[in-house]
Amino acid sequence: MLRPVLRMMLAGIILLISPLNPSADDRLQVFVTIAPQRYFVQKIGIDLVNVHVMVPPGADPHTFEPKPQQMIAMASAKLYFAIGTDFEEARLDKIISTNPQIKVVHTDQGIQKIPMSNSGRNDAHHQDNGQNEERQQPLLGNDEERQGSGRLDPHIWLSPPLVMVQARTILNALQEVDPTHRSDYEANYKAFIAELETLDVDLRAIFAGKRGLGFMVFHPSWGYFARSYGLVQIPIEIAGKNPKLSQLKELIEHARENNVKVVFAQPQFSSKSATLIAKEIGAEIAFADPLAENWSANLRVVAEKVAAALQ
């Protein structure tokens, strides 16, 4: 009689310690390219999705190579949310070839991109509704340098109005592959849009009275952010390269003339040129990470840093 009792007790213990929630393997497996996208997809999918990030925080999306374990996980994924980065242009076809059944969703669809602002500046008086083209006013460099060799700016995740557009694309894709939870995704999407609207209002308040003012950055990641809030992005990098000596001198003169007090660097890139300019003009170096995973909190922090630098 003792053995059956022990078996029953053991079975009860197993039930008690077993997780009630579905494991990650039971969820919809999806991939994104960069960490901010995981924030967006997770907000809409919540506990129904397991989101894998291809380029981990701290890595450079321009040079990152996928790891073997990522390729293994890709085999069971249903969706890949692309966003239009250089990484995808160079490697996405090869990555998804390991899983021909995966559906690639381009979250930048419906968004009119602007040229990389490598040596121009945003027209801060050109009102942004998330879709308008950007006009350039050259600072230095030839036409090819000013337009970044014809490249369009992929950093659409740094503008809350443009994230609203991406959120709708994400919602539609999740509902299509998992129609059983259609209403859940819809409810989560509406809550996320409300969060984005609040963030947008708060950022506009932070930058109230600062329209037309410029902030200096090393890599021109913040063009859409600047355009959304009437600011001017002054990039140090020229067409993806460190500036030449003559260009560096011109940037320093421009920074002095405009009383630039802070130079923003990006953790994924060398801050050598930014540090040199900051030293020459007596400015501080501050880091603004466009790839931080805690997207909303990060955008607020960066906004406060930029606003403080514009005073």
pLDDT in tens, 176-207: 999 999 999 999 999 999 999 999 999 999 99
Query: Is it true that 21-111+159-199 and 143-151+210-309 share their CATH fold?
Result: yes
pLDDT in the model for residue 269: 67
CB 117 within 8 A of CB 191: no
CATH architecture of 21-111+159-199: 3-Layer(aba) Sandwich (3.40)
Is pLDDT of 80 > 50?
A: yes
Q: Which of 119-123, 235-239, 248-252 bottoms out in mean pLDDT, i.e. has the lowest?
A: 119-123
Query: Model pTM?
Result: 0.80
Which whole-number Å values give the CA distances from 239 to 124, 150, 198, 223, in the listed order?
A: 22, 9, 35, 14
| Domain positions in the chain | 21-111+159-199, 143-151+210-309
Question: Looking at the domain that runs over 143-151+210-309, which CATH code has it been given?
Answer: 3.40.50.1980
Task: Give rounded-to-5 percent helix, strand, coil for the chain.
Answer: 50, 15, 40
Q: How far apart are CA 127 and CA 130, in angstroms?
A: 9
